[in-house]
Structure 1
Amino acid sequence: MVPKAELHCHIEGAASPALVVAQARKYGIDTSHFIRDGAYFWSDFTSFLAAYDAAAGLFRTEEDYVALAEEYLTGLAREGAVYSEVFISPDHAERSGLSRTAYTNALGEGIARARAATGIEGRMIVVGIRHFGAPAVEDAARFAAACRHPLVSGFGMAGEERFGNMRDYARAFDIARGAGLGITVHAGELAGWESVEAALNHIRPSRIGHGVRAVENPDLVRRIAGEGVVLEVCPVSNVVLKVFPDFAHHPFPRLLAAGCRVTLNSDDPPHFHTSLAREYGVAATHFSLDESALRLITRTALEAAFVDEPTRALLLRALDDKTVAH
């Protein structure tokens, strides 16, 4: 089994339908409008967001969030993952009536339990929600900078990337960067290559969530490769959301061939009927990556991970050991 690492997954979006149904029974909520036959269903990006929010709204207590993080990371470890970063949203916590600190601590406890059971290492990236506006994203950045949870190691921005101008969010990222947090930002998924360029110009991230629309501008692709910016690519969600019509048209192979540092990620896995293992399988089947190439993808992820250097060294050593053992 190829060792895997994931840098781009929204923790509420990772909740399995079975776990969500169990949560719904706990709170007496009907799930038939977004779960059928044990699976999420939706028809477009708007209804996807509605299903996402409906599922997320069923996590309301610290106990709920501990279970969510523990289940997801434990499952990842079974797929061969050695490392996981999850996006966490303080805004979701507050909508459920839970404090940001309690929410973060609960997810951290779930990650710690998964590590104790399986050895998987995990970290959290606080995200601001773009379409909530710049002040809300700055507020999320201030929380990320001040919370001091040992597993909070990064800051990012998710949400509707066609809302607002990237430069309006620069201050939020300056706050996070000043606190020593790793910086990533969603760009170049539903919006075009200009979104990626704006992120590079105004946010100066070390990683970009998605970034695949950069392929529309060869000069921008060369810039990404030259600056060593890592792309958190999510092939299955890109195809399901019709960013690209099929895997044959997905730019992952072209970005890799152009020298871009790319990784494989599952985004909101059960919503897109995927998993980290499936993403690696897609890369093998549709992008012609052999086992050696897939291990290099994992190495790129570990090199780009928002962890301290001793932890990175341990993860890379474990990857090398697994390679030798294989």
Structure 2
Amino acid sequence: MARLLKTPPEVLLRIAEYLPKQRDCLALSLVSRNLRGVGEQCLYSDVVLRLKRDAATDNQVESFYHAIAANKDRRDWVRSLSVIVLGRNFTLRERKLISRIMRMLPRLVNFTFEYPFADAFNGNPFNLRPHLNHAMPPASSLRRFTWLNAEILDATSFRSFLAYHCNITHLAFNEDRFVVPKIGRNLLPNLESLQAPINTILRMLPRRRIQRIRTTINLRTQPGWQTMKYRELRNIRVLSYAVYGGAKALELFESLVRQMVNLEFVEVQDESAIRPSTLRNTKVRFLRVRNVREEFLVKSFFDRLPSLECIDIQSINLPGRVSQRFQRDCGPPRTITWGCRPNEEWLHDWRDGVTEL
């Protein structure tokens, strides 16, 4: 313990970053007075408020608000804030506190909001206008904004929110079933990655250099975009997608991919929605196939796609997020796992973001 306490604070903080859960950071902060600052800084850097079903007994938002109100250092430490509420609606008190909390975090980089779908029908859309305040610093620190249930957003205040947070590079919604408010071409000029329904993505491509997209194609997708020629599609380097609806939906999807001539990273949710001919006009280097139920023809893809370097197969028979990785001409596959959060593989480098088991 004596040697540990003599370790420089920046080294201790780096070690604390490897703690897997918030409660571990809390435990570290309670070990001693010397370790309190390190543990708290790690604890507050990535905050997840997972609200309980019973609003009457849930005080997480209230407790977090009072914790950062009482200590300015804690506000400066917060880089990521996730608010997850499922099975119930927000109380009016919680809505007000969330608005205050966001105004109090000058270095917030990542904000994730997961809301119950049921509230989309109660006539009470979430108004983001209170999150804007003239007392805020002139440059917004927010870079990643995830809002799962777009239909509860008040469109006017949402666009005002995006106009203020103009440096957002990652924007995410549910990619299949929700209606996203229209976002003008003059908003979010620095956007690089986008998760949304395909029609929303195609509306937002013009005048932006979006390089990563995650979406869903189904029979409800309007076929009008099949004839669209967006030069911005040539900027796409990473594509994560799912196709539902059989051959017709797959045909719509392939008409889109044919225009992505610089595509390098492809992630597909089901092996039936990918074939070598789909990628023949691309520069694909990496293919990731999830939920594989039958034998996947790895050799066929390597033979027909000369630019392809690597294939990850995630079989339903493998535990958790474990995958098999096949390299071109490198013998038997390796067993690997990704080090990022679930469903965020498309945002990371396939060469550096995995661990071999």
TM-score tier, shorter chain, comes to: 0.3 to 0.5
User: TM-score, structure 1 length as denominator?
Assistant: 0.40
Structure having the higher strand fraction is 2
Structure having the higher helix fraction is 1
Which of 1 and 2 has greater Rg?
2
User: TM-score, structure 2 length as denominator?
Assistant: 0.38
* Structure with the larger RCO, 1 or 2 (CA within 8 Å, 6+ apart): 1
